[in-house]
Structure formats: structure tokens, C-alpha cells
Amino acid sequence: MAASTSAIVPFVDLKPMHELLQDKIEQAIENVLQRGDFILGKAVAEFESAFAMASNADYGIGVACGTDAIALSLGACGIGVGDEVIVPANTFIATLIGVIRAGATPVLVDADPNTALIDLAAVEAAITPKTKALLPVHLYGQMVSPSQLRKLASKYNLTILEDASQAHLAEREGDRAGSVGTVAAFSLYPSKNLGAFGDGGIILTQDAHLATTMRTLRNYGAPQKYLHTELGTNSRLDTIQAAILNVKLPHLQTWNQWRNQVAQKYDAALEPLRSKGIIPIENQSGTGHVYHLYVIRVTDECPVDRQILQEELRAKGIQNGIHYPIPCHLQPAYKYLGYQEGDFPHAEALCQQILSLPMYFGLSDEQIQQVVDAIKSLI
């Protein structure tokens, strides 16, 4: 997401991170060029173990993108045709794509209206004898409750696959994102909390056997060259991307803390606007929330319509976004799943109300104030 030149406050600005590390990143890329190990090189193995360790997981498997991380994880767990996987109705569409690519059927569930996370009571109600996995999304950087997920998974004997694409190093109840389920999928898309300079993804697991299967699956299904024991694919994290990620990873916690502090400042400054219908998405995990996005709800009590607010903010140079404007069940390509408008009222209402404000490492107090002042001036 490139910042427009007229923006006073861009939605995302990756430059403060990269300027800090430019020399080290250039050196890391140069090292790969010197070694020439472009595919599954040294930096990939280093990143896999460093990211797994940082996330309290045992094994990391670098893949081409977060979508592949979901599809490959399910495949490795033996989940496919005829199996149901429970997903939130309000997520980025890639969560569903991963399930469908694995051959399984996504079963959609409504959101908690306050946190926008999957509603765990609705999850339990959606479980059938065909359900094989729960696929919670740690949306906007906040984890779905690990204790409740584990309780459900053990009661119904289900696999948990965390979609942690927006939640690198997030914490809740003492658990880190990526360490709760049997497997966890992360996107390393450039604007994620931990982003490459292109597409990338990583799977984490505690299971040595699954890790081996996934390493094989991502590399043509070949445990050794020209021996194909699995119906695999080509989905590897590039060595150059891994080398960049190795430079960035040691700073991730600091960057996440910055984001959490920005959110606390927004929360405090927006508090007086609650009475005018501006309600931040609820944070139930304190400093463990890594705020990939800072999202407010523009509710019916707000004197200004969400769309008008969005346009007026843009006109004032305050970039913003909607994540996501259409719930998955109402996307044209997914009509075949058989859902209708009204099936997931909270997810549908959220799509009408949510607005994401600028959020990135380096966002200054002055810029936060500019965003808040602009909102105040409009309502």
C-alpha cells in the first residue's frame, strides 16, 4: 500500500523501519548473491528456526505466501475433500482460499461484535461430525482466546490451525501466536508486522512429523531430489526474502510495542467520542495485541455516515481503509457455499461500520493528534 504524496498521515509507511536497517539489509542481500544459494539457502533455515523460537514453536517451514501456508498445513494434517473447517465470516478472503485449495469445505461463523474475532459460542454450534479443524484468525493483531480454543478442540477432537497472518509475536493468556494450535500459518507480505520485500509465508508447528511432511510438500513433494513421495507443490520462501527477514526479526518486538502504544494513544484520545458513536474494536489482550490494524467502529450513533467520514478524512490527507468491506459469504465467487445476506449479522454489521486508521512503526504523536483532530472536526 503506497502512501500518496498528498497524505499528511499515510495509512502505512514502511520507510522508518527500512531506513533504520538499510545497510544491514543490503549486506544480507549481498551475502546471498555471493553464496548463490537462492533456493532453500542458509538464510531460510536460519529464519525458520529464529521465527519458530521467537514464537515459542518448535519448527518453522518457510513457504511462498500465507495462503499457501494455510493450504499446505491442512494438507499435511490430512484434511481435505469431505472435511469441514470452521472459519470466521469476517476475514481476508485468503483464509477461505487456503481451505478450498486443500479441498476442504469452509464452514463460516459469525463474529463477536466488540472484538471482531470469531465468536467461539457460534463455533461450537457449527461443529458437525464432518468438522476436522478450527481455523481461528487472530484478526487485526489480537489472538483468539487460546484457552477457549484448546477447550473446544479437545472436547470435539479437532485440529487447530491458527491464521496468524496479522499477529506475529502477539500474546494472550501467556501464549504466543503460532504456539496454540497443531499448526499456524503466517503471511510475510510486505505490510504485515513482519514483512518481506515481496511475498512470503511461514508455517509453525510443534510436531516433528508434520514439519517433515510440510517441508516435503513445499518442495515438489520430494524428501530428496527426484524422489517424490507426496503430491507436493512448489512453495518456498526465497532465500533473499529470508535474509531480509533475519535482519528485521530482532526488531519486531520493539515495532510491535510501538504499535501497541500508538493504539493506547488513539484509545485515550478517542474516548470522548464514544458518546458520538466512535467505538474502537475492543482489546482483550492488553499489551499482547500487536495491532496490525487499528480499527474503530462508526456506529449508528455517529452523526456522520462511515463513508462520508472516510472520504472527508481522505480529503484532509488522513489515509484510512476498511478491513474488510464485504464479508466472505457475500463475495461473488463464494456464493456457491450457499450462504445468504443475514446469515452472519455481526460480521455484516462490522463490514458496514469499521474504519482502519493509520498504524505503523514510526507514526508520531503529532500525526496521531492530526488523525484524532480530523475525526473530531468532522463529527
| 239 Cβ contact list (under 8 Å, min separation 6) | 32, 37, 38, 39, 40, 41, 42, 43, 44
Nearer to ligand PLP, 51 or 270 (CB): 51
Please, what is the minimum distance in Å from the beta carbon of residue 217 to ligand PLP?
16
Nearer to ligand PLP, 69 or 375 (CB): 69
Strand 201-205 with 171-172, pairing? unpaired
Chain contacts with ligand PLP (rule: CB under 6 A): 65-67, 91-92, 94-95, 137, 163, 165-166, 187, 189, 199, 201
Phi, psi for residue 294 in degrees, rounded to 5: -105, 115
Residue type, 231: L
Please, what is the minimum distance in Å from the beta carbon of residue 331 to ligand PLP?
14
Please, what is the minimum distance in Å from the beta carbon of residue 266 to ligand PLP?
21
Nearer to ligand PLP, 75 or 201 (CB): 201
Please, what is the minimum distance in Å from the beta carbon of residue 77 to ligand PLP?
17
Measured distance CA(292)–CA(344) in Å, rounded: 24
Measured distance CA(132)–CA(23) in Å, rounded: 47
Nearer to ligand PLP, 66 or 321 (CB): 66
Q: Which residue is nearest to ligand PLP (CB)?
A: 66
Please, what is the minimum distance in Å from the beta carbon of residue 66 to ligand PLP?
2
CB-CB contact of 12 with 2 (8 Å): no
Q: Is 133 helix (H, G, I), strand (E, B) or coil?
A: strand
- DSSP letter for 357, please: E
SS3 content of the chain, % helix, strand, coil (to 5): 45, 15, 40
Please, what is the minimum distance in Å from the beta carbon of residue 129 to ligand PLP?
27
CB-CB contact of 276 with 379 (8 Å): yes
Measured distance CA(70)–CA(107) in Å, rounded: 15
Nearer to ligand PLP, 101 or 215 (CB): 101
Question: Which own/partner pairs from 326-332 qualify as long-range (CB within 8 Å, at least 24 positions apart)?
Answer: 326/351, 327/89, 327/90, 327/351, 328/87, 328/89, 328/90, 328/91, 328/93, 328/95, 328/96, 328/106, 328/108, 329/89, 329/108, 331/93
Nearer to ligand PLP, 22 or 234 (CB): 234
Please, what is the minimum distance in Å from the beta carbon of residue 303 to ligand PLP?
32
Please, what is the minimum distance in Å from the beta carbon of residue 214 to ligand PLP?
16
Nearer to ligand PLP, 160 or 375 (CB): 160
CB-CB contact of 267 with 367 (8 Å): no
Phi, psi for residue 340 in degrees, rounded to 5: -135, 165
Please, what is the minimum distance in Å from the beta carbon of residue 369 to ligand PLP?
29
Nearer to ligand PLP, 54 or 137 (CB): 137
Nearer to ligand PLP, 101 or 374 (CB): 101
